[in-house]
Amino acid sequence: MRRALLLLVIFVVAVSAQSPGVGSIWSTVNGTLQSGAVANGNGSTLAVNGLSSVIYTVNCSVACSGGTTINFEGSADGTNYVALNTVQLGTSTAAIATTVVNQGTTITAWQVPVAGLQLIRARISAYSAGTITVTANATAASYDPKIINGNVYVGGALLGIGQQTASASLPVILPSATVTTLTPPAAITNYANEAGGNLATLAGAVSASVIQQNIKQIGGSAVYVDPCMVNTPLKYVVNFATATTTTMIAGTSGKQTYICGISILPTSAAVNINIVEGTGTNCSSISAGLIGGTTAATGPNLSVNGGFVMFNGGYWVTVTTTAADNVCYMASATSQVSGVIKYVQQ
């Protein structure tokens, strides 16, 4: 029993006295790679076996200039060194870098993953001026991704693409891992505001009429879109007790009037009514009939309490022949005629 207790005490003391070792999750190693250096040189190395990431701290106590360069390098075999991609801390605008060139007196910090490496160093090259001190702190803690200009970098590599400004070129990762750019157009030329279905413009977009024309082209083929389906309809309330020809819908320059639906309620007396098109005051010059001939007698013949409805499932039921023509009411006798007309002009 005493022997077992003695062994347990020896084990606990040994564990308590052990310094955090390489490979444990709390391990850290630090060192000075360059100390007040004023010339080219490899400097000292830092062993990073079993560790995950390193933060370099670069201090030019006398400003580095004239091309003076600090190179971040690592070795997997303990002999040969390669450049390391590092990400600058404390900024959201700096890109990844393998070197620091002509750093001023502002101290900078750089993070890099080192899993699998044995040694790291901060080699000075192209020295011209400056007093350089570089320290490194290595840890077994996992390497955190960095977000730079909306892009995610892990291990110095571009992992994901974030939001870009409208005028910026957009980086795209291809299957071959080649990074290229796609430049967006200067303006979006066709835009429909889905809220309410109204056509709108964006960044110098073309007019609604051109957008409407583009809607008619699907897969390179012409597709007919009925004006009564793509335009906001208007209404005209029919309320006549006269035999005098009267304008109901004034023509619009360059546009035809499409009648999307007509509903005539029961009349107070037998009467012939008609809807015609023409020019001048109250269609003084009639050019065509819309639901019959060009006279009242050639329109629908309604008996007392007679009426009619004309609708076509959202499509137009009649249309003016000539653009800008007025649409007029015509009757063979005085009778109260009520109803409503649904129409668009295009």
> Mean pLDDT for the chain?
80
| Rounded Cα distance, 253 and 231, in Å | 17
Indicate whether 144 and 234 sit together in one domain: no
Would you say residue 94 lies in a domain? yes
Residues 145 and 234 both lie in one domain: no
User: What is the pLDDT, as a whole number, of residue 321?
Assistant: 96
Asked if residues 336 and 241 have their Cβ atoms less than 8 Å apart, the reply is yes
Mean pLDDT along residues 276-283 = 97
Nearest to 289 by CA among 298, 307, 270, 276: 276
For 12, the enclosing helix (H) or strand (E) is: helix 2-17
Same domain, 147 and 37: yes
- Going by pLDDT thresholds of 50, 70 and 90, the confidence category of residue 330 is very high
Measure the CA–CA gap between 76 and 99, rounded to whole angstroms. 19
CA-closest candidate to residue 345, choices 211, 220, 204, 250: 250
Exposure b/e, 272-300, CB count within 10 A at least 16 = b: bbbbbbbeeeebeebeebbbbebebebbb
Length of the chain: 346
Amino acid at residue number 312: N
Residue 152, pLDDT score: 53
Residue 203 included in any domain: no
User: Do residues 56 and 86 make contact, with C-beta atoms less than 8 angstroms apart?
Assistant: yes
Range of the domain at 138: 28-151
Q: 259 and 147, same structural domain? A: no
Q: In this structure, is residue 36 part of a structural domain?
A: yes
Q: Are residues 239 and 332 in the same domain?
A: yes
Q: How far is CA 276 from the centre of its chain?
A: 50
Whether residue 214 is contained in a domain is answered as no
261 domain-assigned: yes
Please state, in angstroms and rounded to a whole number, the distance separating the CA atoms of residues 289 and 336: 21
Which of these ranges, 66-75, 138-147, 208-217, has the smallest mean pLDDT?
208-217
Residue range 90-115: mean pLDDT, rounded: 87
Tokens of 165: 């400004």
Which of these ranges, 16-20, 36-40, 231-235, 291-295, has the smallest mean pLDDT?
Answer: 16-20
Question: Are the CB atoms for 278 and 233 separated by under 8 Å?
Answer: no
Residues 129, 238 within the same domain: no
**pLDDT given for residue 213 in this prediction:** 53
Give Rg (Cα) of the chain. 42
pLDDT confidence band for 323 (50 / 70 / 90): very high
For residue 90, the model assigns a pLDDT of 80
Instruction: Tell me: do 40 and 128 sit in the same domain.
Output: yes
Residue in 77, 75, 96, 94 with CA at minimum distance from that of residue 155: 96
Please determine, for residue 344, whether its predicted confidence score (pLDDT) is greater than 80.
yes
Is the pLDDT at 339 greater than 90, yes or no? yes
At 5, the amino acid letter reads L
108 pLDDT above the threshold of 70? yes
pTM of the model: 0.41
**What helix, strand, coil percent values describe the chain, rounded to 5?**
10, 40, 50
Span of 18-27, 226-235, 283-292 with lowest mean pLDDT? 18-27
pLDDT for the residue numbered 174: 46
- 239 and 137 share one domain: no
Of the residues 151, 178, 197, which one is the last residue of a structural domain? 151
Residue 219, domain member (yes or no): no
Asked if the model's pLDDT at residue 170 lies above 70, the reply is no
Share of the chain above pLDDT 90, in %: 61
Q: How many domains does the chain have?
A: 2
Phi and psi for 119 in degrees, rounded to 5?
Answer: -135, 155
- Whose structure tokens read 């006549």? 240
Pull the structure tokens for residue 302.
Answer: 């309604």
Is the confidence at residue 43, as pLDDT, over 70?
A: yes
Q: Is residue 117 part of a domain?
A: yes
Q: What gap in Å lies between CA 310 and CA 231, rounded to an integer?
A: 19
Structure tokens at 238: 């029919």
* The domain boundary residue, chosen from 97, 126, 151: 151
The pLDDT confidence band at residue 203, using thresholds 50, 70 and 90, is very low
Judged against a pLDDT cut of 70, whether residue 335 lies above it is answered with yes
Strand segments, DSSP code E, in 66-169 are: 69-75, 82-83, 87-88, 99-101, 108-113, 119-125, 129-139, 146-148, 151-154, 157-160
Indicate whether 224 pLDDT > 90. Answer: no
Query: What's residue 248's pLDDT?
Result: 97
Residue 139 is part of a domain; what is its CATH number? Answer: 2.60.120
User: Distance (Å, rounded) from C-alpha 12 to C-alpha 68?
Assistant: 52
Last residue of a domain, one of 120, 151, 182: 151
Residue of higher predicted confidence among 185 and 64: 64
Q: Over 70: is that where the pLDDT of 103 sits?
A: yes
Task: Let me know if residue 7 belongs to a domain.
Answer: no
